[in-house]
Copies of this chain bind each other. A is one copy, B any other.
Amino acid sequence: MENKRDHKLDNFFSYSFSLDCLIFGFQDGKINLLLVKRESEPFKDQWAIPGDLIYPDEDLPNAASRILKDLTSIEGIDLHQAQTFGNPARHPQGRVITSAYFALVRMDDLQEYARSWSDRIQWMPIYSIPRLSFDHNEIAISTFEVLKQKLTIYPIAFDLLPEKFTINNLQEIYEYAFQQDWDKANFRKKLKKIPLIKLNEKQKNVKHRPASLFKLDSEQLSKMIKREDYSFSLKIN
């Protein structure tokens, strides 16, 4: 027992701590995960969740923000901690413990960026993730479960939507996440508990009645949360 512990840690890779940042986006009715193609061994040229070692003076949320910003230039959005993974065999080159964080981003804000990097990064629908590097499939599944859990209680789905969205956009997020359909009338009734502002604007160029655009009343929401007056919850099944 004492012997095992006499490992020296001067080799950065022999025992280190990293953070994986799972970036989720929503488009065309699907929730996507941003993957990067690895540029070095191990698993060179295979898809992976973006991540990095944590710097010595960095708190975990800082590291998550940094990774998100380096990759997408996005700043100032909420990051959520999911699970931490520490199987000694998870990294072939040494002991690397990793914490998963996730962010929900507006894919629209990233269009041109995504094109410029299109050979090294890719959005993949969460239910169609290919085989990934390391134990990243397990991390993706686990983190998506945490995301789903939070979706049932917190109003984080809006982070995936553009500022102006239709009620149906929102419903699609839930239907895709839980692979389950809701009645649109009843779904709208659930939303009564979330403060939304109906804009004087409608969808365009649709060959059916255009839907009204809404935005989240963030101020009102903060107030409600402050006075513990926020009670949205979505029952599955």
Listed in ascending order, the chain A residues whose CB lies under 8 Å from chain B are 1, 4-9, 12-17, 53-60, 63, 81, 83-88, 95, 97, 99, 231, 233, 235, 237
Q: Are B86 and A60 in contact (CB under 8 A)?
A: yes
> Cβ of A17 and Cβ of B97 under 8 Å apart?
yes
In the complex this chain forms, how many copies of it are found? 2
Q: Beyond the given A1-B55, A9-B12, A60-B97, please list 11 additional residue pairs across the A-B interface where CB-CB is below 8 A.
A: A4-B57, A5-B12, A6-B12, A9-B13, A9-B14, A9-B15, A54-B97, A56-B95, A60-B84, A60-B86, A81-B83
Q: Would you call the interface of chain A mostly helix, strand, loop, or mixed?
A: loop
- Tell me the bound Cα distance from A9 to B9 in angstroms: 12
Known: A59-B87, A99-B86, A231-B237. A53 touches B5 (CB 8 A): yes
> With A15-B9, A231-B237 known to touch, is A4 a contact of B59 (CB < 8 Å)?
no
B-side contacts of A9, CB under 8 Å: 12-16
| Nearest 7 interchain pairs by C-beta | A60-B86, A84-B84, A59-B87, A84-B99, A57-B88, A7-B56, A17-B97
Question: How far is B231's CA from A54's CA once the two chains are assembled, in angstroms?
Answer: 40
CA gap between A59 and B80 in the complex, in Å: 23
Q: Can you list 12 A-B contacts with CB-CB less than 8 angstroms, sorted by A residue number?
A: A5-B5, A5-B12, A7-B56, A9-B13, A17-B86, A54-B86, A57-B88, A58-B86, A59-B88, A60-B85, A81-B84, A84-B99
Q: Closest approach, in angstroms, between the C-beta of A165 and any C-beta of chain B?
A: 28
**Minimum CB distance partner of A83 in chain B:** B81
Contacts A84-B81, A84-B84; is A15 near B60 (CB within 8 Å)? no
Min Cβ gap A64→B in Å is 10
B17 and A17 contact, CB distance less than 8 A: yes
CB contacts (< 8 Å) of A12 on chain B: these are 5-6, 8-9
Residues of B within 8 A of A99 (CB): 84, 86
Identify the interface centre among A4, A55, A86, A233: most chain B CB within 10 Å of its CB.
A86
